[in-house]
Amino acid sequence: MTLSTPMWGLSVPVPEAGACSPSCRDAPRCIHLPSVWAPLLSLGERNFSQKEQEHRLRRGRPGGQRSPSEEGSSRCAHPPGAPACTRMCSLPVPREPLRRVAVTGGTHGNEMSGVYLARHWLQAPGDLQRPSFSATPVLANPAAAAACRRYMDRDLNRTFTSTFLTTRATPDDPYEVTRARELNQLLGPKASGQAFDFILDLHNTTANMGTCLIADNAHNVFAMHLCHHLQLQNPELSCRVFLYQQAGEESYAVHSVAKNGIGLELGPQPQGVLRADIFSRMRTLVAVALDFIELFNQGMAFPAFEVEAYRIAGTVDFPRTKDGDLAGTVHPQLQDRDFEPLQPGAPIFQMFSGEDVLYEGESTMSPVFINEAAYYEKGIAFIQAEKLTFSVPALPSLTPTPTPVP
């Protein structure tokens, strides 16, 4: 018996009918593994049965109908031959200088580059000062940082949703829920006019992700321009853009408390270890990001461009026994090959009994966060991503505020 489990979530936007070639249209894709292994479910679908998921997959929007979040999207800018596409939706960009900027480190207490940069800047904030603003350093999870643990009770970077932020506080609340509310008061409130203008959140990964720029989605024009600026200023780093938010999903990361923000994800670096090269790289990237905000504040305009990014499509768990224990590990031919194309038929796992498990998807995908240590508890061996290319509109210069006439 084999299980066929969806690898692509319903939340991936479907191009408008006639906007792109048929090859651009998203479709369910499956992996087949023996039933004694854990199902490979798309992110956010792990609590649904296979029958329920198949029903959800059949509920596609008729006739290419667009969801409310896609209204106002520009035409599809899919270049011929590109692996996938999305249309850009020009969400409102800042029309005033960004004055309230925060740099958060230690959201996960054992990701040491951000922990020690935040601690350093709390004592000596000179690196964070620019002519038009001074960024505020924040040690996001001080208790976890003191204990050198990812978190105390629950993942802080999954806790900035309205459910946690607005529920009445109780003495029994997990530490990270209480801390999320404190950060929401300090840097937010989320989705309010009083929120910080921008948050730059600092992370490390044990996976071979290199320099990864994490944004919520492709519609965020300002964030895409910042990522592009980081790429242009650091061509030797091969900075890749990863879009983590699925359509219709509330953003849950710490930078979502602000009006805008991105995350920096640097690796590989073991948990609880501080590497000088990655520490220095992160410090440089923060400086370049703040320089970009300063250029924007000073009235610089930024031209339109095309960008490649990787959008989350699902997650793959390890092969497991009937009791839920690991039955194998990431295959040597897949290990450390984050962002590289994975072709159908390529090995993805090596069973403890010696057999190889092959990728049986219908098309090429790009695995990321391969064998990430923090994701073992989440039942994730790697995240599936689709590579896409899209156009980002120009970021206009700020309109000077007229001087009042006496």
Q: Are 111 and 73 within 8 A, CB to CB?
A: no
Q: Are 379 and 46 within 8 A, CB to CB?
A: yes
Number of neighbouring beta carbons within 10 Å of residue 93:
17
Number of neighbouring beta carbons within 10 Å of residue 279:
19
Q: Are 194 and 185 within 8 A, CB to CB?
A: no
DSSP-derived 3-state class of residue 286:
helix
pLDDT at 57: 32
Mean pLDDT, each 10-residue run in order, the chain (406 residues): 29 33 34 33 34 34 33 36 46 89 98 98 98 98 98 98 94 97 97 96 98 94 98 95 88 95 98 98 98 98 97 96 97 98 98 97 96 97 97 92 52
Q: Give which of 89, 112, 114, 90 is closest to 104, Cα–Cα.
A: 114
Instruction: Give the largest CA-CA distance in the chain.
Output: 84
Q: Residue length, the chain?
A: 406
pLDDT at 402: 52
Based on the number of CB atoms within 10 Å of its own CB, is 323 exposed (0-12), middle (13-18) or buried (19 or more)?
exposed
Cα separations in angstroms, 74 against 78, 90, 284, 304: 12, 8, 34, 13
Q: Are 176 and 141 within 8 A, CB to CB?
A: yes
Q: If you ran DSSP here, which 8-state letter would residue 262 be given?
A: E
Q: Which residues have C-beta within 8 Å of that of residue 125, sequence separation ≥ 6?
A: 134, 135, 137
Residue 271 bridge partners (DSSP) = none
pLDDT at 247: 76
Write out the H or E segment, with its range, that includes residue 296.
helix 276-297
Q: Give which of 21, 71, 82, 77 is closest to 305, Cα–Cα.
A: 77
Q: Are 383 and 338 within 8 A, CB to CB?
A: no
